[in-house]
């Protein structure tokens, strides 16, 4: 694995172990020039869509653009939406193969989110849909504008919210019990006027979808 590896025991608040979580942050997983090239290629893809979410009995436009890629036919359902993958764009397939070599996990799909500026966001959720399995490995690659990624324990109110600034070219790996015990979000901000793209690589198993919102 290239780049600086921080386990979140070190750089974030509160210092010390993060209970019930298994997090690793690779700050420079991609060299800046490679991250620039990849961002440009992703922004040029024709697949970006604004989804209509069904949440808490209401339909609303997602505050971001989304695309779903993966092995043909791999499907993923959340918030009233079902994505079915039709294949891999070449730059994302190359990344998938690099992650397989680095992490020993062969991901079969990726959810891409595009935050056009600080008004785009993602609400509190866990990536805990049944088709991801009990202890999913989620590899989250960030490109473009730096945004805050928050993690909050589901039941331990004594634990502070983790506030992680995800940098251009960085990789955050969440695994083990992280999704069972922690929720995460990407809050809106008035300070960001640039685009950010995030790719969350996932291993989706074939099974009936669960209804939990994301």
Question: Dihedral of the CA atoms 75, 77, 82, 83 (nearest 10)?
Answer: -40
**Least distance in Å: CB of 144 to ligand AKG?**
11
The CA distance from 126 to 181, in Å, is: 8
Exposure of 30 by Cβ count < 10 A (0-12 exposed, 13-18 middle, 19+ buried)?
A: buried
Site for ligand AKG in 106-125 (CB under 6 A): 111, 113, 122
Task: Provide the minimum distance between the beta carbon of 66 and ligand AKG in the complex, in angstroms, as a whole number.
Answer: 8
Question: Shortest distance, CB of residue 105 to ligand AKG, whole angstroms?
Answer: 17
The smaller minimum CB distance to Mn ion, of residues 72 and 142, is found at: 142
Peptide bond into 39 cis (omega under 30): no
- Give dist(CA 138, CA 112) in Å, integer: 13
Asked if 140 is part of the footprint of ligand AKG (rule: CB under 6 A), the reply reads yes
Where in 5-64 is the site for Mn ion (CB under 5 A)? none
Q: Which of 51, 120, 127, 131 binds Mn ion (CB under 5 A)?
A: 127
Stretch that binds Mn ion, among 13-21, 122-130, 163-171, 203-211 (CB under 5 A): 122-130
The nearest distance, CB 148 to Mn ion, in angstroms, is 14
Determine the Cα–Cα distance for residues 182 and 199; give it in Å rounded to an integer.
Answer: 19
């Amino acid at each position: 694995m290239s780049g600086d590896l921080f386990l979140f025991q070190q750089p974030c608040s509160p210092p010390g172990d993060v209970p019930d979580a298994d997090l690793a942050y690779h700050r420079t997983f991609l060299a800046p020039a490679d991250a620039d090239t990849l961002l440009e290629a992703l922004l040029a893809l024709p697949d970006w869509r604004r989804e209509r979410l069904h949440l808490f009995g209401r339909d609303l436009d997602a505050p971001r653009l989304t695309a779903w890629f993966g092995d043909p036919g791999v499907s993923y359902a959340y918030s009233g939406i079902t994505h079915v993958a039709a294949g891999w764009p070449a730059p994302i397939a190359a990344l998938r193969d690099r992650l397989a070599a680095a992490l020993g996990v062969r991901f079969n799909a990726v959810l891409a989110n595009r935050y056009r500026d600080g008004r785009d966001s993602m609400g509190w959720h866990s990536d805990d849909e049944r088709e991801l399995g009990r202890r999913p490995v989620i590899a989250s690659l960030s490109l473009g504008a730096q945004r805050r990624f928050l993690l909050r324990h589901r039941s331990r109110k004594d634990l502070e919210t983790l506030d992680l600034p995800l940098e251009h070219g960085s990789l955050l790996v969440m695994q083990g019990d992280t999704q069972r015990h922690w929720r995460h979000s990407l809050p809106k901000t008035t300070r960001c006027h640039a685009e950010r793209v995030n790719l969350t690589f996932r291993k989706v198993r074939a099974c009936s979808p669960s209804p939990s919102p994301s």
